[in-house]
């Protein structure tokens, strides 16, 4: 199978595993070796899946403000973990293709492979949850039809993005495109760069 097809299989398995308990505090049970690309992809999607449900919880209008703040900080940490995993995936590709001879007319892509795969992981979640809406028995026919139309678009988007990822990887492997990864420099989590945090230490 192609890399995108393998990724989609892993993402779907992860989402199904999460929904066995459907609880944001369920410990991850990675079926893949953590140091492999498959293991990294599984952890990446697990983070996305847990965060998806944290985002649902925090939007409860009746939520206790103290609990909401705790969840907001948990989401902030999740975002940092997500970024770290994306960078780990790009590191995998940089290592894999380090020996490729780049052609003189090679071009750079608008985003790295891993950030495209990040979008593929989120798409798998959108498709899972939109499909759940389509299967509801307590919703109106209008709601079901609207959700089916959205599901059709998401499914087409997944197909197109999967194809684009595989084409990008093929182009990198053949030297027609080259990778240049700019690491994310998030400032708000860094005590040395967030003015609110370093001012509080004075």
The H or E element that residue 177 is part of is strand 177-178
Instruction: For residue 89, count other CB atoms closer than 10 A to its CB.
Output: 21
User: What 3-state class would DSSP assign to 94?
Assistant: helix
202 in any annotated domain: no
The pLDDT score that the predictor gives to residue 189 is 64
The reply to whether the predicted model has a pTM over 0.85 is: yes
71 in any annotated domain: yes
Radius of gyration for the chain, computed over Cα atoms and rounded to the nearest angstrom: 19
128 in any annotated domain: yes
Q: What is the mean pLDDT of residues 170-176?
A: 98
122 in any annotated domain: yes
Q: pLDDT digits over 77-117, tens only?
A: 999 999 999 999 999 999 999 999 999 999 999 999 999 99
Q: Tokens 């049970």, residue?
A: 29
201 in any annotated domain: no
The number of distinct structural domains making up the chain is 1
The pLDDT score that the predictor gives to residue 191 is 72
Q: Where are the alpha helices (DSSP H) in the chain?
A: 3-21, 37-58, 65-96, 113-134, 141-174, 195-199
Q: Is the pLDDT of residue 202 over 80?
A: no
181 in any annotated domain: yes
200 in any annotated domain: no
- Structural domain span for residue 132: 3-192
């Amino acid at each position: 199978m192609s890399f995108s097809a393998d990724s989609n299989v892993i993402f779907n398995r992860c989402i199904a595993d999460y929904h066995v308990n459907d609880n944001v505090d369920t410990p991850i049970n990675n079926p893949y070796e953590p140091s492999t690309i498959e293991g990294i992809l599984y952890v990446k999607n697990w983070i996305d899946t847990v965060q998806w449900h944290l985002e649902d919880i925090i939007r409860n209008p009746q939520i206790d403000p103290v609990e909401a703040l705790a969840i907001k900080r948990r989401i902030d940490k999740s975002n940092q973990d997500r970024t770290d995993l994306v960078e780990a995936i790009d590191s995998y590709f940089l290592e894999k293709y380090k020996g490729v001879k780049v052609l003189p007319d090679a071009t750079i892509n608008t985003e790295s492979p891993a950030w495209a795969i990040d979008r593929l992981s989120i798409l798998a979640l959108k498709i899972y949850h939109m499909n759940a809406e389509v299967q509801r028995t307590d919703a109106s026919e209008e709601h079901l039809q609207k959700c089916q139309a959205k599901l059709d678009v998401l499914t087409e988007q997944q197909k197109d993005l999967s194809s684009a990822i595989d084409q990008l990887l093929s182009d990198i492997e053949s030297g027609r495109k080259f990778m240049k990864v700019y690491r994310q420099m998030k400032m708000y989590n860094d005590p040395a760069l967030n003015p609110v945090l370093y001012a509080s230490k004075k």
